Amino acid sequence: MKNMIRILFFFFYTVALIEQTSGQSLSADSIRRRAEKSVAFISGSGGGCTAFVIGDGYLVTSGHCLDVLTTDTVTIQLNGQSAKAVLKGHAKFNLTTSTNASSFRDLSVLEIKYISKKIKYSALPIARYSLQKNDSIYSYSGQFRKLYSGTIADYDRYSIVTADMPICVGGNSGSPYLDEYGNVVGVLSFGAENETKTCVGANIILYLEHYVDVPGVRIVETSPNINASVTDVSLVTSVPPIGSAIIKATLASIVSFPKNNSIGCMLNNGCVLAKNSDFSTLSDKKSSQLFITSHSFKQNFIVRKIMISDSLDLCLIKIEGLVNTPSILIANSYESNSVEAFVVTSPKVDEVKQAMATTGLQYEGIALGVLDISINQLSFIFNKKGQLIGISIPAGEGETVTPFIDLISIRQKIINSTLATSNSFQNNK
């Protein structure tokens, strides 16, 4: 009997080993089984994100998730179990704080000081090799414990854009992108569950130097596919073409307020960044009803206005009960004082304009930028990776340039305002 058990053990062990190391791709079910032992949902006082284990006590997630994981003690849900854990030195590897913004740095490494012994987990291997456009790709949500599949719509040194993958909802930031061998190739950052289900993630290859010293980490040097060709991962040098996946994902975060003849940009926590003077009838003391439309909804909502700055004419429109919506990231810094950008004046792709943005300007203590085109209506300005950098001050008649408020300079203030809205309805109705 013991011999039979040993034979069965070595049989299944050998099959599993062959499945992991051969040049043949894994089945979707095999990838799911591998991911569910490694992908977690981490929640704190400000919200939650997905993360995945890469080594002994270390997890990778999106950099912007540190904006919601505001306390050291968090709850980790992994492999069907739940337990409290302590984040140790979690800002040490936060790439979003880097002064070098020449790349798509929405990544963080979390060091876990303590995880209950009842949680059994394993690490996902990280790929050093590149993929190609139209390759198959997977992602696993720690929030929903579900595997999603899609294809690579765009690929470069910094980012991986996927299509046909309906995972771009709140709480899934930090989900791993997995290739057909179950190796991590990227990390989900933002996107839109629109008609093309477009998601954008950071290409993990660029950041391997931050992982190689993690205890227990496993780097897969070459693709198991011996027929794989070398992928061009040259630098991104220009803004995405009009109609590209990144621009479509960005447009999905734009909401319209028809009765106010205005637009806003969806941030996290159900908050829309907007121009305060367009909502003078809304109160910051009590809730109101407002008609809002976007790519995914068109209805009346209960809202409340949250002031950000009187001098900058900015506010947040907090929407009650709105979760799992496309949201946008505010960039951390600029590559230089002159950057390529695209300008959004409505959710319509044919109204997107490309421009050069000059930054680093000051007027009466306010950080400003200038576009080299004339825009006479409220607009949101994005960098070439689809990150928000500014909101326009409409140009006057005859002017050939457009000033804009530099949102990077007040990024943390905006983030703090979105986090502070969690109990706004309960406390102010």
Same domain, 254 and 208: no
Asked, for residue 9, whether it belongs to a domain, the answer is no
Provide the number of structural domains found in the chain: 3
Q: Is the pLDDT of residue 404 over 90?
A: yes
Asked, for residue 111, whether it belongs to a domain, the answer is no
**Among candidate residues 207, 239, 271, the one where a domain is terminated:** 239
CATH number, domain of 349, equals 2.40.10
Q: Which of 67, 172, 106 is nearest to 414 (CA)?
A: 67
Average pLDDT over residues 286-310: 87
The DSSP secondary structure of 81-114, one letter per residue, reads EEEEEEE-STTTT-GGG-S--SS----EEEEEEE
Quick: pLDDT tens for 382-395.
988 788 999 999 88
Same domain, 269 and 306: yes
Taken in order 224, 229, 230, 235, the sign of the CA dihedral is: negative
Asked, for residue 46, whether it belongs to a domain, the answer is no
Q: Cα(145)–Cα(142) distance, rounded to whole angstroms?
A: 5
Quick: pLDDT tens for 37-50.
899 998 877 778 89
Reading the block at residue 179, the tokens are 């290739």
Q: Cα(62)–Cα(60) distance, rounded to whole angstroms?
A: 7
How does DSSP classify residue 399? Answer: -
How does DSSP classify residue 372? Answer: S
59 φ/ψ angles, rounded to the nearest 5 degrees: -130, 150
**Among candidate residues 204, 239, 274, the one where a domain is terminated:** 239
Say what the pLDDT of residue 92 is: 36
Quick: pLDDT tens for 32-82.
999 998 999 988 777 788 999 888 778 888 877 777 776 777 888 888 888
Lowest mean pLDDT among 88-97, 127-136, 340-349: 88-97
Same domain, 306 and 265: yes
Same domain, 204 and 256: no
Q: Cα(232)–Cα(2) distance, rounded to whole angstroms?
A: 53
Reading the block at residue 327, the tokens are 């949201």
Same domain, 363 and 268: no
Asked, for residue 345, whether it belongs to a domain, the answer is yes
Same domain, 345 and 279: no
- pLDDT band, residue 170 (cuts 50/70/90): confident
Asked, for residue 163, whether it belongs to a domain, the answer is yes
Same domain, 133 and 220: yes
Q: Which domain holds residue 397?
A: 338-413
Percent of the chain with pLDDT over 70: 75
Reading the block at residue 370, the tokens are 């200038």
Q: Is the pLDDT of residue 319 over 80?
A: yes
- pLDDT band, residue 324 (cuts 50/70/90): low
Q: Cα(343)–Cα(330) distance, rounded to whole angstroms?
A: 14
CA separation, residue 375 to residues 352, 382, 398, 401 (Å): 11, 14, 11, 8
Average pLDDT over residues 215-237: 55
Contact residues for 33 (Cβ-Cβ < 8 A; gap 6+): none
Q: Could you report how far apart the first and last alpha carbons of the chain are, in Å? A: 69
Which conformational region is residue 317 in: left (phi greater than 0), alpha (psi within -120 to 50 degrees), or beta?
A: beta
With b for 16 or more beta-carbon neighbours within 10 A and e for fewer, the 363-373 pattern comes to: eeeebbbbbee
Q: pTM for this structure?
A: 0.59
Higher pLDDT, residue 106 or 427:
106
Which conformational region is residue 305 in: left (phi greater than 0), alpha (psi within -120 to 50 degrees), or beta?
A: beta
Angle at 293 between CA 287 and CA 297, to 5 degrees: 95
CA separation, residue 61 to residues 28, 90, 114, 181, 303 (Å): 22, 11, 18, 21, 31
Q: Which of 210, 191, 192 is nearest to 201 (CA)?
A: 191
Alpha helices in 189-258 (DSSP H): 245-251
CATH number, domain of 275, equals 2.40.10.10
Q: Cα(39)–Cα(51) distance, rounded to whole angstroms?
A: 6
Asked, for residue 17, whether it belongs to a domain, the answer is no
Q: How does strand 388-392 pair with strand 380-383?
A: antiparallel
Same domain, 136 and 214: yes
Asked, for residue 288, whether it belongs to a domain, the answer is yes
Asked, for residue 113, whether it belongs to a domain, the answer is no
Q: Cα(81)–Cα(55) distance, rounded to whole angstroms?
A: 19
25 φ/ψ angles, rounded to the nearest 5 degrees: -70, 155
Q: Which of 264, 254, 258 is nearest to 308 (CA)?
A: 264
Same domain, 214 and 259: no
**Among candidate residues 190, 212, 239, the one where a domain is terminated:** 239
Same domain, 173 and 233: yes
Same domain, 348 and 314: no
Same domain, 368 and 304: no
